[in-house]
Structure 1
C-alpha cells in the first residue's frame, strides 16, 4: 500500500501534474481539437486517465482507494445531478428574469457549443454532436476528478490534514485552467490585460469549484457525487443557451457565478452538518 513507500507527496503530485499539463499544452496549442470537428479537448484527458492508472499501479492503489467505490454509486450520481440541476436552474431563472426585465425577449435554446472564456463557440444540433458532448464530458470528469480529487487528495493526506490537501489540490486545479486565455493571448484574440484578468478569474472560480468537489468527496466518501455535479455543470453550459435580441449567452459568466456560489454554500453547510470532517475521506 501507499503508506509503505517512502513518499514525498508534493514531489509525486508535481511530477504527475506536469506530465498531464504537457499533454494539455500539446492539445490546446497544437492539436486544438476543441476548435475542430469534435468541439472537445479530449485527447489530453485520455492521456491523463492513462497517467492516473499508471500512478495507481505504482502506488499499489485500488480504484476504491481513490474514491471509485462500489457503494451507493447510483444514489450519489443522482444527488450530484440534482445539485447541479437545482443551482443552475436557479441561475438560469435569474438570468432569464433579468434579461426579460430589460426587454431583451430571452429564450432558452438547446444546441451544442464548446465552452470558451469569452463566450461559447459553435452551434450544432445534430445527434452526433450531442453524443460527442456527452462522451467528452464523461471523459473530462473521470480524468479531473480521478486525478485532482482522487489521487492528489489520497497522496496529500499521507502528510497533510484534509483541509490543507483541499487547498493544495484546488490551487493546482485553478492553474490547470489558465491555458485557454494564454492561447487566446498568443493568437491575438485578447489583450495582455484581458488575459491577466481572465487568468485571475479562472484561478479563483475554478479553485473554489475544485474545493467544493473535494468537500463532496469527503461528505460521500467517494468521487461519484462530485463527478456527477461536475458533469452536469459542464454539460449544461455546452447545451442550454440564453438567446436574446442582442446576442447569445451574454451573461454566461454571471450565470456560472450564481450557480457555483450557491452550490459552494450548500455543500459547505452539508459538510459541517454531516460531520464529514470527522470521517475518513475515502470510505471503501
Structure 2
C-alpha cells in the first residue's frame, strides 16, 4: 500500500500516545468508570479504537498491516487463549501450594472484581457483571494491541528497525500502566514509597509483557494470538480468586510474576527458534536464486 510519508515517526507516535494518555488520565482521575458498576475504564479505550482507525486511514495503513488479518485468526485466538490459560494454571497452582503449605488456603472462587496489583476489590456474582468484564477486556485488548503492537510499530518501522520500534513501544506500554498506582497514592490508599515501588513493578512487568506481545505478533504475523493472550491475562485475575483464611488474592503479585515470567521465557525461546528457522530458510532461498541465476 502507498503510505503517506511520515517525516518524524517517533514524534508522531509520541503525540498520539500523549493524547491517549490524557484520555486515560481523564477517565482514571475524573470519570473513574472502573470504580462504578461498569468496573472497567472503557471510554478512553473505545475512543482509542476510533482514533486508531482514523489515523490509520489518514496514513493509508490498512487493517491487515496493523495486524487485523483474515486467515488463521481463529487458530491464533485459540492458541492465545490456551497459552494464557496454561501459564496461569501454573501460576495459580504455585499460589495454591504456597497457601496450602502455610495452612491458609480456603478455596478458589469465581466472582468479578476490580483488578489491582496488590489485591482485588469487589465481589460480583451476577451474570451481567461477567459479561461486562468480558466485553470490557475485549475492547481493552483491541485498543492496546491495535495501537501498541499494530499502529505504533507500523509508524515507527518507517524509520527504525523492528528491534528499536519494539523497545520504544514496550517502554510506552510500561508507562501506560503507572496511572493506577499514582491514583492510589492521590486517593490516600497507598503511601509514596508504596506508589513508587508498585509503579516501578508495573513499569518493568508491563514493558516485558509488551515485548512478549510484540514477539507473538511478529511470529504469527497478526495481532490475534497476542490479543487473546492479553485477554486471558486481564480477565482471569478479575474472575478467578484464591481465598484464604485471612483474605483473598493476598499473593496476587506472586501469581502475576510467575505467570508473566513463565510466559515471557516461553515466547522468547519460541521467538529465537522462529528467527533461526526463518534465517535458515532465507539463506536457502537466496542460495537457490543465486544458483538459478548462475545457470
Q: Given the two structures, how large is their TM-score scaled by the length of structure 2?
A: 0.92
Q: Please tell me whether residue 148 in structure 1 is matched to residue 148 in structure 2.
A: yes
| Structure 2 counterparts to residues 60-71 of structure 1, below 5 A | 60-71=60-71
**2:135 aligned partner:** 135
* 1:230 counterpart SS class: helix
The 2-side partners of 1:6 and 1:147 are apart by: 17
Q: How far apart are residue 2 of structure 1 and its match?
A: 5.9
- Can you list the C-alpha shifts for 1:170-207, whole angstroms capped at 9, x where unaligned? 00000001111111111111111111111111100000
Q: Which residue of 2 aligns with 1:185?
A: 185
Q: Which runs of 4+ in 1 moved over 2 A?
A: 1-4, 275-279
Q: Do the aligned partners of residues 277 and 49 (structure 1) sit closer, same or farther apart at CA in structure 2, a change above 3 Å counting?
A: farther
Q: Partners of 1:116 and 1:60 in 2: how far apart?
A: 38
- In the TM superposition, what whole-angstrom CA distance separates every residue of 1:108-128 from its partner, at most 9, and x where no partner exists? 111100101331111100000
Q: Deviations over 1:43-69 (max 9, x none)?
A: 110111111011111111111011000
Alignment of 1:1-284 (within 5 A): 1=1, 3-275=3-275
Provide the C-alpha distance between the structure 2 equivalents of 1:243 and 1:6, rounded to a whole number of angstroms: 52
CA distance in 2, matches of 1:2, 1:100: 59
Structure 1 residue 39 displacement after superposition: 0.7
Query: Aligned to 2:77, what secondary structure does the other structure show?
Result: helix
Instruction: Give the gaps of 5 or more residues in structure 2.
Output: 282-295
**Contact 2:77–2:224 (Cα < 8 Å) also in 1:** yes
Q: Which of 1 and 2 has greater Rg?
A: 2
Q: Which runs of 5+ in 1 are unaligned?
A: 280-284
Secondary structure at the aligned position of 1:114 is classed as: strand
Contact kept in structure 2, 1:241 and 1:249, CA below 8 Å: yes
* Distance (Å, rounded) in 2 between the aligned partners of 1:132 and 1:120: 17
SS in 1 for 2:243: strand
Aligned length: 280
CA contact (8 A) 1:218 1:277 kept: no
Q: Following the alignment from structure 2 to structure 1, what is the Cα–Cα distance between the partners of residues 2 and 268?
A: 29
Residue 282 of structure 1 corresponds to none
On the 8 A contact 1:216/1:226 being kept in 2, the answer is yes
Provide the TM-score with structure 1 as the length reference: 0.95
Superposition deviation, residue 35 in structure 1: 0.4
Residue 86 of structure 1: how far off its partner (Å): 0.8
Hey, what's the Cα distance between the residues in 2 that align with 1:277 and 1:140?
A: 32
Q: How far did residue 95 of structure 1 move?
A: 0.6
Question: Structure 2 vs 1, CA of residues 150 and 2 (structure 1 numbering), >3 Å: closer, same or farther?
Answer: farther
CA contact (8 A) 2:4 2:60 kept: no
Give 1:101 shift.
1.0
Shift of 1:96: 0.3
Secondary structure of the residue aligned to 2:86 is helix
Per the alignment, in what secondary structure is the counterpart of residue 144 of structure 2? helix
Aligned residues of 2:6 and 2:158 also touching (Cα < 8 A): no
| Rounded Cα–Cα distance in structure 2 between residues aligned with 1:100 and 1:120 | 20
